[in-house]
Amino acid sequence: MSLDRQYQKIAQIFNEICSHFSSKKDYIYLFAKYDTRNEWWFRGELIWLFEKLSLKFSLEEKVNGDYLDFVLYIGNQRHLMELKVMSIGKRGLRSYFSENYLFKDFNRLIRKSEKYKWVLTFAYPSDTASWKKQVKSIEERNREIKCFRICTINLEPLGKACVVSLWNIR
């Protein structure tokens, strides 16, 4: 697979992720309503989905001294992937974009030599305008980090959304 085909494949996988979690919005709504961060539930759903899609992957694989949430094998390439789930309620969106949270994963992946490095985030409940503002701020400050894809899952009646984002780390 060429570089372009790798990005096309990961975009297809992201579309499947968004479709899958859109069908689970009742659960995500409850997590948001009760301000609970359920990273293990999201991880379990991803395991189920990756199996359903017949993807080759490993969990908690050690890569250059760090255990990563997922390593996807697409063609002959390894795609390193970290997962972050953010319940915005009590903490606020900005706190998740600090050096102590999301940037720990960004920086861990920046140090890896693999071509394909990703952080998959679920943030809820969030308004999309605030999310996009944070994305823009990060991309302006960090050339190595690019938000590759975003989808939103409406969480009525909260008037907010779950924002699912796939970040590419160079």
**Measuring CA to CA, which residue among 49, 86, 101 is closest to residue 70?**
49
Q: Total domain count for the chain?
A: 1
Which residue range forms the structural domain that includes residue 8? 3-169
Give 71-91 pLDDT, tens digit per residue.
999 999 999 999 999 888 777
Give the span between the Cα atoms of 133 and 157, in whole angstroms: 23
pTM to 2 decimal places: 0.93
Asked if residue 1 has pLDDT above 70, the reply is no
Report helix angle 39-52 to 3-22, nearest 10. Answer: 120
Using alpha carbons, select from 167, 64, 78, 165 the residue that is nearest to residue 108: 64
Contact between 13 and 55 under an 8 Å Cβ cutoff? The reply is yes
